[in-house]
Amino acid sequence: MDFVEPMIKVLLYYIFTNVPQPLEAVKEHTYICSELGLRGRILINKIGMNGTVAGEEGAILEYRRHMDAHPLWQGIDFKESVATFMPFPKMKIKYRKEIIATGMPDSCDLNNCANHVDRDTFHQWLTEGRDIVLFDLRNDYEYAVGRFKNAIRPPMKYFRDTVDCIEYYTQWKNKTVVMYCTGGIRCEPGSSLFRAAGFEQKNTYQLLGGIVKYAEKYGNEGFFEGACYVFDDRLVVPVNTSNTRVIVGRCSHCNEPTEQFQNCANKYCNLHFLGCDDCVKEYKNTCSLPCQKIIQDNQKSIRPHLRCALYNK
């Protein structure tokens, strides 16, 4: 009998709710995830939880049952995907001051966020060609490998820098704006920054469930181009799985299409960049000629796990 690899399912989720004893919630969650053999990353604090977990199909089903029955976690909108391998090395469950890094937590008023627009209405707006402006509230490298058609390129490197770039976005203050991110959580505090900057409630929206929820229904026929970046060992997952799929990511060296991410071999740089197979080999896993020269002149500057592979030493 052939051995069949168990299906690995991945859940992405968040919830904003009052958590009276967050440290106890961390302990409780650590226990249940250990019992089910789950791996992933979960952050908990007094205002909620932000998590992504992976495990065998039966374990994920049992986890969802546990969450749906728990008085604190009922009503979570889980986004589910499939992985061909376990995408996390271990389980990390921690208490954090912020469950999503905003750069300025005291400026985020979760009672003054943008309106939610569901994926069906959003898709209809795009199909009709409605005059809307799309703000991508992710990191720049996430945008580089995939985004909604005509979305504004983020002027910041990281989402946490959004607070410093609000003035740039005010040129669209009088437009109908829809913000999006991977699963929706960054748009909650992020959109509150735009509301505080004078974006009107009636014209300011956030995509409910983010790219992942949209892709569940409209992946092959929708308006998302490229792949969706994820924060696990998969790095990118396809949104459109049909033969009409396009690759929008470009190699940092030769500008050829690619969806492969690398971390620069120069440990003092460590830039997360897109690189095709040929250029990764030619530039020895570095993001630029200066970084390549640095590791050639001083092999101690190479990230340790790459040192042997690059120079056989």
Q: How far apart are CA 29 and CA 32, in angstroms?
A: 5
Which residues of the chain are in CATH 3.40.250.10 domains? 105-230
Quick one: which H or E segment has residue 176?
A: strand 176-180
Side-chain-side CA neighbours of 62 within 13 Å: the count stands at 12
Quick one: which H or E segment has residue 205?
A: strand 204-207
For residues 115 and 200, is the Cβ–Cβ distance under 8 A?
Answer: no
Q: pLDDT at residue 299 above 90?
A: no
How would residue 308 be classed by pLDDT, with cut points 50, 70 and 90?
A: very low
pLDDT, average across residues 185-190? 95
pLDDT of residue 309: 46
Which residues of the chain are in CATH 3.30.70.100 domains? 8-95
> Any bridge partners for residue 274, and if so which?
261
Instruction: Give the SS3 label for residue 290.
Output: helix
CA distances from 120 to 138, 185, 218 (A): 22, 19, 9
From 108, 113, 181, 291, the catalytic residue: 181
Report which of 148, 150, 115 is spatially closest to residue 240, judged by C-alpha positions.
148
For residues 256 and 276, is the Cβ–Cβ distance under 8 A?
Answer: yes
Q: 8-95 maps to which CATH number?
A: 3.30.70.100
pLDDT of residue 313: 40
pLDDT of residue 235: 96
Q: Which CATH architecture has domain 105-230?
A: 3-Layer(aba) Sandwich (3.40)
- Whether 181 is catalytic: yes
pLDDT, average across residues 264-282? 95
